[in-house]
Structure formats: C-alpha cells, structure tokens
C-alpha cells in the first residue's frame, strides 16, 4: 500500500467517525462521551523550571483549547493533525522532530502539503492557505517539539497544550487516532452551526442598544441562557480595553466555556483583563439570576490565589441583586477583602453596570457588533439564542 493511500485511509476513517459524532441527536453529549476514552482523558504535562509537572488539563481539553483559538492559530490544527497521522503511518517516527534538518526528523510541512491539507480542503474542514507549518513560521524553529520548546504560538495556552499532546502521544503512548477524530469532530461541529443573518442597524441610541441586549437575556430560554450576560460584559470590555488609559498594556482574555471548564490556569472570573505577564489585573464574576451573598465575597482572597488584583466585580442579573438584610454584612466583607488583598471589590447589578459602561464607550454600535460576534461564534450559545438575537436585530432595525 502506498504512503499516500495510508494517510488518506487514516484521515477518512477519522472523518467518518467524527461525522457519526456530530450527526448524533445530541452532539454535545456525544462529544463529551467520546472524550471519556482513555486516550482523550489522559492528563497532559508541561515543563516548569526544567521539570515535568501536571498541566491540569486532559488531552481532550487541550484539543478543545486549540479549536477554540482557531481565529489565532488555525495553523496549529494542521500541524497537530499531521503529527498524529504521521505517528500512525510511521510508528517509529518521533513526531516531535518535525523537520528533516533535525537528526531523525521528518518534514511536517511536506507531509501536510502533500497529504493533510488537500484532504482537509476536500472535506470542507479548516485548512490554511498554505500548509500549517508554512503558515506558522513563528512557531517553526529548528528544535524538537519537546515540553521545553521555546516557541510561542498565538492564543492562550496553545503552546502548553500542543506540546503536551505531542508528549502524551510520543512519550506516554497515547493513541493518536481518537485525537484526530476529536479534532475533526469539533471542527465539523463549528461548521455545522446554523448561519443566521445578523443585521447591523445604524443610528441606535444607547437605550435602544441596552434594551435589545436585555430583551435577549430575558426572553432566551434553556441551557446556555446564563452565558449571554457574560458575553455582553465581554463585548463591552472589548470596547473599554481599546479606549481607556486604565487598560493600556492590558489584554482581554477570551472567556472560557463549558468545553474548557477545567481550564482554570490564571482565571479568577468570567471576564478577565490581564497584565502583559498574564497575571489578572481586573475581573468580573457574573451571577445569572442569583443574588450576591456574603459567601461569594468572603471567598475572594482564596480565589485570588496570591495574585495582585486591582479590581474585582461581582455582577448579578437578579432583581434586586442583593438582599437588603445582607447588604451591610457584604459591605463589611468587601472592606475586609480590600484590607487583606488590596483589591477593590465592587458588587452591583449587571444591568445597571452594563448601562453605565455603554455611556463610557465612544461608539456604542461597536459594542453591538462585538456582542453579535460573540453570539455568532461562542460554543456555549445555542442556535435558538442566535435565532432570537437575529430577530431582535431585525426588529430594532426596522
């Protein structure tokens, strides 16, 4: 059998299994169940101070991180699939040595160009214009992809999980085939999401924009509804970080979703702004239809885990957002947390805060665009919520 046939057979088998998963009646449940296999549930490792330590993520979670960061790093998808297929075709090949210039190495780039990218394009999967390795030159250096590899691809945690997956397969004997299946299944799932037309109404007032978003939150139903207020705060912070001097030299993280529920590295809230050293500067914790309690505030010093946090918001969609009989106790604990950690804690209603933030933004329609983009692409948002938002935009645009 020719090498070309072997690569194509493996990719075809993985694609067929992935199609079975995404064509299940409950795609999310099927993905979760598949991710419980021993290969995908295998814990990842990373290198820290020259030693191997646990990354606190599984292979499946690492794959999900790479898929979720597609906008920043889709070349890693090609490089990783190519590495995994290569391991099956040539079991004795150390796939961490991805260049022929390295002793015992193979050309990941050539293998990708000849075998992988053409297959991805034929099957409507994500593919780079060039091969993954060629598109990812900033990550392609003349060193093996060991845990200590110094390259840094774009996207939070991409480096750690990419290297961790290769280590798990090459060093710890994890089966590469389920990894290929999950990569393709998650890619297919993203592409099978219903595409809705989202109008971009112009000339809206702050109040009209605010009312539209609140209507979306209050009329949405079912699982995923609690995600919407988080995305609204994320969308407005995207505006604020770009405009306010306070956030100069700061970066806004992409919020983790239920697919990355265990991705807690450095996270202290639902929305977070980091310093350049990737430590949290400011964060927002969103409570959907739950009043803010004293326990939520008193847990903050433990949650900060030694980080120097400047501000921390707890925002609730409940009305009222705080019980009157707990208000004084909460304010006392807020002051105690400030004295203990130096962090200014603000508790407030989410709707009130969002309305205030919109008045700070120079162009509120940019917030509307940001929110629409979040609704369109976030993995936790259900199609029914996307359809509802498209309908709301149509209504306010007429």
Task: For 266-313, write each residue's pLDDT tens digit.
Answer: 789 999 999 999 899 999 999 999 999 999 999 999 999 889 999 999
Positions of CATH 3.40.1350 in the chain? 206-397
Other beta carbons within 10 Å of 312 = 26
Distance from CA of residue 160 to its chain's centroid? Answer: 14
Task: For 164-218, write each residue's pLDDT tens digit.
Answer: 999 999 999 999 999 999 999 999 988 776 667 788 888 999 999 999 999 999 9
Q: Is the dihedral of CA 230, 231, 234, 240 positive or negative?
A: negative
Cβ–Cβ under 8 Å, residues 312 and 268 = yes
Residue 3, pLDDT > 60, answer no
Cβ–Cβ under 8 Å, residues 93 and 108 = no
Task: For 252-268, write each residue's pLDDT tens digit.
Answer: 988 765 444 434 567 89
Q: What is the mean pLDDT of the chain?
A: 90
Q: Domain spanning 206-397 has what CATH number?
A: 3.40.1350
Report yes or no on whether pTM surpasses 0.75.
no
If DSSP codes are grouped into helix, strand and coil, which group holds residue 49?
coil
Nearest to 255 by CA among 247, 263, 245: 263
């Amino acid at each position: 059998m020719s090498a070309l046939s072997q690569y194509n057979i493996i990719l075809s088998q993985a694609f067929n299994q992935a199609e079975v998963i995404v064509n299940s009646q409950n795609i999310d449940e099927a993905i979760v169940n598949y991710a419980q296999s021993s290969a995908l549930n295998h814990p990842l490792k990373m290198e820290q101070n020259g030693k191997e330590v646990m990354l606190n993520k599984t292979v499946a979670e690492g794959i999900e991180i790479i898929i979720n960061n597609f906008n920043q790093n889709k070349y890693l998808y090609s490089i990783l699939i190519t590495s995994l297929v290569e391991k099956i075709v040539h079991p004795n090949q150390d796939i961490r040595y991805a260049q022929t210039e390295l002793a015992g190495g193979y050309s990941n780039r050539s293998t990708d160009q000849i075998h992988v990218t053409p297959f991805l394009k034929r099957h409507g999967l994500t593919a780079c214009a060039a091969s993954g390795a060629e598109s990812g030159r900033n990550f392609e250096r003349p060193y093996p992809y060991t845990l200590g590899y110094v390259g840094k691809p774009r996207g939070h945690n991409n480096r750690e999980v990419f290297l961790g997956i290769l280590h798990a397969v090459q060093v710890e004997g994890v089966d590469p085939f389920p990894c290929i299946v999950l990569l393709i299944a998650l890619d297919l799932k993203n592409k099978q999401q219903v595409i809705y037309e989202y109008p971009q109404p112009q000339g809206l007032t702050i109040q009209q924009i605010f009312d539209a978003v609140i209507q979306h939150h209050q009329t949405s139903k079912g699982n995923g509804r609690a995600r919407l207020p988080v995305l609204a705060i994320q969308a407005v912070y995207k505006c604020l970080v770009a405009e306010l001097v306070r956030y100069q030299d700061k970066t806004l993280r992409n919020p983790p979703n239920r697919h990355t529920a265990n991705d807690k590295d450095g996270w202290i809230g639902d929305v977070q702004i980091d310093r350049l050293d990737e430590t949290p500067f400011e964060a927002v914790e969103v409570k959907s239809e739950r009043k803010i309690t004293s326990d939520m505030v008193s847990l903050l010093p433990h949650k900060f885990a030694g980080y120097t946090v400047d501000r921390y918001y707890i925002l609730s969609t409940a009305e009222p957002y705080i019980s009157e009989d707990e208000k004084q106790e909460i304010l006392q604990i807020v002051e105690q947390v400030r004295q203990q950690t130096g962090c200014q804690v603000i508790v407030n209603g989410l709707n009130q805060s969002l309305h205030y933030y919109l008045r700070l933004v120079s162009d509120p329609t940019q917030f509307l665009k940001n929110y629409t983009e979040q609704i369109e692409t976030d993995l936790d948002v259900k199609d029914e919520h996307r359809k509802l938002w498209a309908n709301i935009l149509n209504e306010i645009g007429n």
